[in-house]
Amino acid sequence: MFEVTRADKHDVQTVKFVGRRYTESDRNADGNFKDQWQQWLTNGWFTEIENIGSIADPAKMGVILMEKDNFSYWIGYACTMDSAIPDGCSSLILPEGEIIDTHVHGSFKNGEILGSAPISQAYQYAVARGLAKSGTKPTRIMERFDDRRFNPNDDETTVDYCFYG
């Protein structure tokens, strides 16, 4: 069973998120974006961004945007504002602001630390600590796969869920 092990709030600077955008129609039969992540790893798309861009955060990221009735899921890196954009990628500006950074620890192999259940529990953990307002829902969520904490080959590992804006 996964557990939320940390939550804090801090300021972040404006970054250009460089990656690829996906929509509901890109989900696989299980309702997730695992196939797209596999494409990124197999095709070396992270390396392309590393080679051409100025990485602001070394963690590979998924960015979930749920604004109004418009859902999108991005995979890529947070880069500096002057970063180039490789062919096949696009960008999204994430303005400066506060984020709530949570750590969810558990099994990646069985998928328990991915999806709506750990995101919801992480947000409620932040609410219980006075970092987020009760009765609100996050509209911008970042999944950070930070190599210092995340290793998909370990029995248990940690994913950061950040709630932005």
pLDDT tens figures, 36-55: 999 999 999 999 999 987 99
pLDDT tens figures, 53-99: 799 999 999 999 998 788 999 999 999 999 999 999 999 999 999 99
pTM (2 decimals)? 0.94
Question: Which residue range is the domain that position 68 belongs to?
Answer: 3-164
Long-range contacts of 121-129 (CB under 8 A, 24+ apart): 121/2, 121/4, 122/4, 122/7, 122/161, 122/163, 123/161, 123/163, 125/4, 125/7, 126/7, 126/9, 126/100, 126/102, 126/163, 129/7
Helix (H, G, I), strand (E, B) or coil at 131: coil
| Distance (Å) of CA 53 to CA 13, 14, 19, 59 | 17, 15, 11, 14
* Domain CATH for 115: 3.20.80.10
DSSP symbol at 120: H
Total domains present in the chain:
1
Q: Tell me which residue has tokens 């999944």.
A: 143
